[in-house]
Amino acid sequence: MDKPLARTARLLDLIPFILSHQGITIVDLAKEFGVTEKEILADLNLIFMCGLPQYTALELIDLSFEHGFVTVREPQNLDKPRKLSSEELSILIMGLDVVQTQIIDPVKQQIAKNLQTRLKLLIESAAANSILYADDRHLPHIDCINRAMQSRTALNISYLNTSKDEITKRKVLPIEVFQQGDEFLLLTWCFLSKANRTFAIARILSCDQASDALADVNSDTDPMLLTPERRVTIKFQYDRSALSFIENVQDRVIEIDQTEMIASVEVWDSEWILRNVLANAGHIKILAPVQFAHEVAARAKIALSNY
């Protein structure tokens, strides 16, 4: 959207917003619309000049914004917010799908469903019924995590490290829960690592709000911090069945030939990549380093000896 058009959209949205937030400060208004105070002042000055044909004092939009507080006295016919665009409606419809995956209360579920039906009636395109967010995984401990984020309190968690196949206990300050790829992740400040750490929520086995003060930083140190760099580059050939694996490690791919289906990935944790190769058995063949290929084969042979 070009600048004058984006500004027109903002001006049209400003009036009903101020009407429902009479006395709002210029600072808050600028923050709400994501522009500078200077831009908001210029907008308000411009709105002041707009009105209905004849453009006498009676037909102009009337607002006051002296002393840093904004009030609309006469919005003329721009008192209502603009209708939601197709993009806005569609993302709200899908957002309600997302919310429903985590609501347990059936009454609230129904409210969300009814609301979604109402929004679908507003969308002009038939595509209202062709967007869908589905997930059958209910996030464990999500209420506890969200409560801790709101109250800015720390959490004591026990966490399953699947590469090492071990459970560790950590104290973390939760920052954000997000979904990236197929995982739900929790970004935290980790008191053990003394750094930001991201945890897969599905692998948080227990979670309680810490009763002690935030300043009471755990004096333990993450053993990972004491470990020297163990960066490993693995080159392998893959087939179509391992495409999902390639997509999941996209950030770590340093070289890829999609025609020959050969990739090199750089990883910090050789145990993690070794287990991934085992999990994709028959679809990933290690080309280098050779000792890594031997390690995978040796582990497969031990596993076979169990049968």
**Residues of span 224-253 touching other proteins by CB under 8 A:** 240, 243, 247, 250
Beta-carbon neighbour count of residue 47 at 10 Å?
A: 22
Which of 256, 259, 263, 288: binder of other proteins (CB under 8 A)? 259
Shortest CB 228 distance to other proteins, Å: 26
Residue 240 backbone dihedrals phi, psi, to 5 degrees: -60, -30
- Stretch of 63-71, 112-120, 189-197, 224-232 contacting other proteins, by CB under 8 A: 112-120
Region binding other proteins by CB under 8 A among candidate stretches 62-70, 190-198, 218-226, 299-307: 299-307
Contact 262, 287 (CB under 8 A): yes
Query: Mapping DSSP to helix (H, G, I), strand (E, B) and coil, where does residue 59 land?
Result: coil
Which range touches other proteins (CB under 8 A), out of 90-98, 189-197, 213-221, 222-230?
90-98
307 binds other proteins (CB under 8 A): yes
Partners of 199 in beta bridges: 186
> From residue 180 to residue 219, what is the string marking binding to other proteins with x (rule CB under 8 A)?
xxxxx------------------x-x--------------
Provide the token pair at 213.
């003060």
Contact between 282 and other proteins per CB under 8 A: yes
| Site membership for other proteins, residue 56 (CB under 8 A) | no
Report how far residue 156's alpha carbon sits from residue 173's, in angstroms, rounded to the nearest whole number.
9
Near other proteins by CB under 8 A: residue from 104, 134, 215, 226: 134
Site size toward other proteins (CB under 8 A) is: 120
Nearest one of 10, 18, 17 to 34, comparing CA atoms: 10
Nearer to other proteins, 30 or 111 (CB): 111
Residue 62 CB coordination number (10 Å): 16
Q: What is the 3-state secondary structure (H, E, C) of 264-299?
A: EEEECCHHHHHHHHHHCCCCEEEEECHHHHHHHHHH
Q: Looking at 66-74, 110-118, 219-227, 262-270, which segment touches other proteins (CB under 8 A)?
A: 110-118
Beta bridge partners of residue 286, listed in sequence order: 236
> Interface with other proteins includes 267 (CB under 8 A)?
no
275 belongs to the binding site for other proteins (CB under 8 A): yes
What tokens appear for 232 in the block?
């490993």
Selected range binding other proteins among 62-70, 158-166, 208-216, 219-227, rule: CB under 8 A: 158-166
31 token code pair:
């923050």
